[in-house]
Amino acid sequence: MAIPNVRIPSRQLYIDGEWREPVKKNRIPIISPATEETIGDIPAATEEDVDIAVEAARRALGRDDWGSTTGAQRAKYLRAIAAKILERKSELAKLESLDCGKTLFEAAWDMDDVAACFEYYADLAEALDSKRKTPVDLHLDSFKTYVLREPIGVVGLITPWNYPLLMATWKVAPALAAGCAAILKPSELASITCLELGEICREVGLPPGALNILTGLGPEAGAPLVSHPHVDKIAFTGSGATGVKIMTAAAQLVKPVTLELGGKSPIVVFDDIDNLDLVVEWTLFGCFANAGQVCSATSRLILQESIASEFLERLLLWIKNIKISDPLEEDCKLGPVVSSGQYEKVLKFISKAKDEGATILCGGERPQHMKKGYYVQPTIITDINTSMEIWKEEVFGPVLCVKTFKTEEEAIELANDTKYGLASAIMSKDLERCERFTKAFQTGIIWLNCSQPTFMQLPWGGRKRSGFGRDLGEWGLENYLNIKQVTQYTSDEAWAFYKSP
């Protein structure tokens, strides 16, 4: 089928409401994950550009047209952005798919979520107006006290390539709703749609400096943002290794961070399930959506021994039905991973698993029919012991590990046997058992008889090495608010602590 072509806009950095060439004039090529060809390039920001963007953001905070806006006024901008996203949905979805390899089906889904997220935070921005000043009654005649919620200031938002525009929106929307001035640094592996967000902000007349978009390499553009003295907070989604670097750099300035890092989430399947196909499909979706490049992917299947062979047999039949093709093709359900680096990384994990004695039940290689592109077959690995790397480390690719269990205690122990703590899923018709697992799972996200559904009203984030802080919901807005207490002495009486002269 003919692939719909779309022009990749050539952009500069988006700073202070306009397009600006990077000071050093460098650019980074865009490599198509589906064809391995260079299809464009993005500007490469460096420290000098970060300084210019931070000053623009600080100026915005000091100007009435942004720094003194009400939540209702900011909500208008957020709703206008949402409308433009929907207007350009088809083109943005294609650009997203071209850039990161995500199927067009999933990219379109993401664009709906992006628009809905801006709308959601527009509502919360309006609600903030009545919550800005909360009286606290001490039942004391001589004091009047209240709490103020105010924007935290200039915020640095550093985001990954697996959901390029959606992960950026999870941070940009609440940051703008709170009245912060933001500098977004998307991943250099997928920046196209984030740059289009800059064009959309320019078109809706978002005041200059409220949102600035700096594309570029992590160490060159991200690191200077983290260590900039006039950036008040960093919100990050990405790898654990980079999260540690960011937290270490921010610590030098006692700068607050929120870290949404990786995961190695379990899906526990009991033999009392009613509908085998329903559970098999959730298991597939939980690990192979977005080609497995999902921080919350339930990439460890912990299967009750009594149904293991029947379940795996059915799983293999479903896997054969997954259409692997150019991600822009209709009905494609598995595209390439984002880059040659990620491709090599995933294949290395698989070969290490084999070396350590595991069995590749299916997949494990490039699909025969895809001669070009960073494609990895949906892969299932069995005969795993818990000391293997494949059991412990996040692969961030279409690779599902399987272990079996007999008792609930064994299942809980296997599920929590990870340094991560992002998400867990349990499939069982016994809701009391689900309740027990909800308490026992050491994660921030629990799925009961499903895996991955993500709703922006709910707090998203984890524990342990999956980081801390929460995106989405009211919690997402709190990330960008400073809480200030105000205590007023209202009496004319002396305080009478000291003896009057």
Strand 379-382 to strand 399-405: parallel, antiparallel, or no bridges (unpaired)?
Answer: parallel
CB of 174 to ligand NCCCC(=O)O, least distance (A): 15
Q: What is the Cα–Cα distance from 290 to 162, expressed in whole angstroms?
A: 8
Q: How many CB atoms lie within 10 A of CB 62?
A: 11
Q: What is the Cα–Cα distance from 241 to 255, expressed in whole angstroms?
A: 18
Q: What is the Cα–Cα distance from 70 to 87, expressed in whole angstroms?
A: 26
Q: How many CB atoms lie within 10 A of CB 143?
A: 14
Residue 453 has φ and ψ, to the nearest 5°, of -50, 130
Catalytic member of 96, 188, 220, 260? 260
* Residues 3-42 as x/- pattern, contact with ligand NAI by CB under 6 A: ----------------------------------------
Strand 420-421 to strand 463-464: parallel, antiparallel, or no bridges (unpaired)?
Answer: antiparallel
Q: What is the Cα–Cα distance from 11 to 42, expressed in whole angstroms?
A: 7
Which residue among 185, 264, 333, 465 contacts ligand NAI (CB under 6 A)? 185
145-184: which residues touch ligand NAI (CB under 6 A)?
158-162
CB of 501 to ligand NAI, least distance (A): 58
Residue 260 is among the residues annotated as catalytic for this protein:
yes
Place of tokens 């590990």: 401
- Are 429 and 274 in contact by the 8 Å Cβ rule? The answer is yes
CB of 167 to ligand NCCCC(=O)O, least distance (A): 6
* Residues 214-243 as x/- pattern, contact with ligand NCCCC(=O)O by CB under 6 A: -----------------------x------
Place of tokens 């016994």: 430
Q: Between 154 and 167, whose beta carbon lies closer to ligand NCCCC(=O)O?
A: 167
Is 452 one of the binding residues for ligand NAI (CB under 6 A)? no
Joined tokens for residue 441: 């799972």
Question: Contact region for ligand NAI (CB under 6 A) — 13-21, 108-116, 215-223, 301-309?
Answer: 215-223
Instruction: Tell me the number of residues near ligand NAI by CB under 6 A.
Output: 28
Give the total residue count for the chain.
501
Which has the closest alpha carbon to 190: 160, 211, 219, 228? 160
286-305: which residues touch ligand NCCCC(=O)O (CB under 6 A)?
294-296
Q: How many CB atoms lie within 10 A of CB 70?
A: 14
* Residues 127-166 as x/- pattern, contact with ligand NCCCC(=O)O by CB under 6 A: -----------------------------------xx---
Q: What residues are labeled active site?
A: 260
| Site residues for ligand NAI per CB under 6 A | 158-162, 185-189, 218-219, 222-223, 226, 237-239, 242, 245-246, 261-262, 295, 342, 345, 394, 396
Binding-site ranges for Na ion (CB under 5 A) = 99, 189-190
